[in-house]
């Protein structure tokens, strides 16, 4: 996938679900992985021609793992002239040393989001952009079906009453395979994930299940994605086109 295709898919999602307004100050959650760096490319590129004016501020919640080098992400932000803030935390120590969690993902996500939203507020941002893509939408739905017994997936736009921040997901039309291609084509400076639970989670199981379904039926992922967008899930905004 080239940059033009990425910008087209991102803009389509932004327009379809009205994700950006004039004057928005958007915090991008940067984990250092391929998804968040691709989102940084997308929103930085859209700033140049999108009819609604907005600002960006990249934020990384540092979980506190040793040897987690964020220099490549910082360098990319400097190249794009996007302000970059690293929020130091002790989340890793709390999860693995204090609580000794065997299934840390849900609690980790909650703590990371809390730290990111608080930092966004302090930096004067009114929106936070997450780098979830189409595969994430489908996998979240399957996770909910298998482990919770309900048909659900996260929304492209969510207003958080407590913080008065709006969470947006501009890459929900982008396939993960295309992000991998984009990473390789543009040599994104991906930071290695230091989490010891990486690759051993329920989401990883569902990711592999989705791949198997796709191999057996190439329409399966798009069919499930359509079912989500057309399924009137509580919290999902209506298409604006």
pLDDT digits (tens, 9 = 90+) for 84-132: 999 988 888 887 777 776 677 778 888 889 899 999 999 999 999 999 9
- The domain segmentation of the chain, as residue ranges, is 3-229
Distances in whole angstroms, Cα of residue 181 to Cα of each of 51, 130, 137: 28, 20, 19
In angstroms, the CA 189 to CA 191 distance is: 6
Nearest to residue 60, comparing CAs of 191, 200, 197, 196? Answer: 191
- The domain 3-229: what is its CATH number? 3.40.50.620
Q: What is the mean pLDDT of the chain?
A: 90
Q: How sure is the predictor about 198, in pLDDT bands with cuts at 50, 70 and 90?
A: low
Instruction: Report whether pLDDT(81) > 70.
Output: yes
Percent of the chain scoring above 70 in pLDDT = 96
* Tokens representing residue 38 in the block: 């691709």
234 has pLDDT over 90: no
As a whole number, mean pLDDT of residues 10-23 equals 96
- pLDDT 10s digits, 130-178: 999 999 999 999 999 999 999 999 999 999 998 899 999 999 999 999 9
Q: Is the pLDDT of residue 199 over 60?
A: no
Which residue carries 């679900």 as its tokens?
A: 17
């Amino acid at each position: 996938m080239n940059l033009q295709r990425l910008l087209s898919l991102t803009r389509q999602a932004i327009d379809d679900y009205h994700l950006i307004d004039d004057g928005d100050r958007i915090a991008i959650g940067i984990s250092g992985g391929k998804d968040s760096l691709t989102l940084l490319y997308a929103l930085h590129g859209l700033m140049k021609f999108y009819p609604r004016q907005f600002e960006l501020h990249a934020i990384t919640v540092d979980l506190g793992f040793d040897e987690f080098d964020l220099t490549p992400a910082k360098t990319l932000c400097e190249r794009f002239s996007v302000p970059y803030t690293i929020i130091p935390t002790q989340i890793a120590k709390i999860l693995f040393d204090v609580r000794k969690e065997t299934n840390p993902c849900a609690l980790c996500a909650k703590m990371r989001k809390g730290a990111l939203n608080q930092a966004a507020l302090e930096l004067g941002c009114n929106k936070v952009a997450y780098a979830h893509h189409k595969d994430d939408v489908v996998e979240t739905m399957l996770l909910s079906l298998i482990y919770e017994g309900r048909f659900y997936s996260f929304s492209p736009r969510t207003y958080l009453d407590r913080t008065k921040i709006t969470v947006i997901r501009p890459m929900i039309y982008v396939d993960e395979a295309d992000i991998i291609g984009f990473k390789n084509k543009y040599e994104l400076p991906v930071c290695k994930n230091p989490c010891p639970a990486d690759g051993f989670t329920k989401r990883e199981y569902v990711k592999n299940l989705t791949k198997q379904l796709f191999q057996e039926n190439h329409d399966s992922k798009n069919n499930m994605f359509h079912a989500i967008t057309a399924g009137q899930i509580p919290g999902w905004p209506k298409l604006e086109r």
